[in-house]
Structure 1
């Protein structure tokens, strides 16, 4: 089937009328057929035109070298169609083409970045959001990029817009705000699967910014402020209850010397639990004063 489609030009030169079914075959032609197809035979017309091109090249030397020699950089590849037939990709290095019969495409393999235009999208809970994103992609198969689609880069950009819109449409506003990384990974997987037949590899998708309408922003800000005020009131209520309980405990301790001594011993146990070199023992002032008086009186008696 593929041989009939690619040899229509040769058959027409030989006066051969192709089968009408080749038109249908051309419409269903895909890249896998081209890869799986073996060596195709060449017609007499093909060799005649090819020999004529080489003769013109030799007759116009060395001027023809200026038009036939091409330099392919390390980050590029060249896809050549010779008389309509696809040749293996060429490069990097010096490549020779015949301007009369060769049509070549220079494909850049470096990663490209594309800023998805800011667009308004409707979430699952019917909220309008404006999202900015960036897509990073590169050409992984130069032949597929030329053979399978007319403009792979433009098609990838358009597919990125629709994919991002579909991913956001299946999530609520809360999920979008909390799971940016998940949205980016899902969009990358869908894009990579969709652009793989075109020879495009989507490396990364980044959600840069999510903007909400002003009215919704005000509502969310008011809701957050009300939530903070409620939390503050709850904390104030608990602190008031704690102060009342502490006051009652202080009143109980004031009326009972045994409770004070028990609290004193508990404090000593807590201090001794740590690895400290110095232990401070809180002693009542009255006890210290009595001890100092006795010490001073004993000292006076010794002097006498």
Structure 2
């Protein structure tokens, strides 16, 4: 601030915007560490932190920062496998910010933030991943169904053991079954002869013959 004197033909002045700028990195085709081609784009938030250095040390600080951002994005993505790129965007963004901020410090640039916006996969890979996810869901559903059948089978076995040990419980189950049959829309109901009555009848017939 204050009064500055400019000597004609000797001095020159330049206006420098110190506000934060955004730069949308265009989609970059990258070959990941596990040999998968992906398209990645990002956004960089930066500002001029030292106007004098940004003019004296580099020809065009903004253009240089943007070119470096593209190169850094490609290098970082190329060093990581696909699963890390998809699951660790936040850590990748922080790593890229640190690298950019350090590299542009000598240009009077301060990188405030970097965000990975989108990671686009080839169509064939998207279909393969969708099929794999569907197969995993079906496998989980089968496991759940099998566990349910196992629990139901165990419960039926325990119930049959209880009924088998208690004649009264067996008779109650018999009456419940008959009641359900009576409430159903059946024209004919067949009542089976209880097993104990059949045994007693057979024993009496055998004694009578002797």
TM-score range, shorter chain: 0.7 to 0.9
The unaligned stretches of length 5 or more in structure 1 are 1-90, 261-304
Greater relative contact order, per chain length (Cα 8 Å cut-off, separation 6+): 2
2:102 aligned residue: 193
1:254 aligns with 2:155: no
1:161 aligned residue: 70
Distance 1:218 1:94 in 2: 66
Distance 1:190 1:146 in 2: 22
1:101 aligns with 2:10: yes
Q: Which residue among 210, 219, 228 is the counterpart of 2:128?
A: 219
Paired residue secondary structure (2:118): strand
Q: How does 1:1-304 map to 2 (within 5 A)?
A: 91=1, 95-257=4-166
**Please, what is the CA RMSD of the aligned residues?**
1.7
Distance 2:8 2:165 in 1: 111
Deviation at 1:95, TM superposition (A): 4.5
Paired residue secondary structure (1:104): coil
Distance 2:3 2:154 in 1: 90
Larger radius of gyration: 1
Paired residue secondary structure (1:115): strand
Deviation at 1:99, TM superposition (A): 3.8
Distance 1:152 1:111 in 2: 14
1:272 aligned residue: none
Query: How many pairs were matched up?
Result: 168
Give the TM-score normalised by the residue count of structure 2: 0.76
Give the TM-score normalised by the residue count of structure 1: 0.53
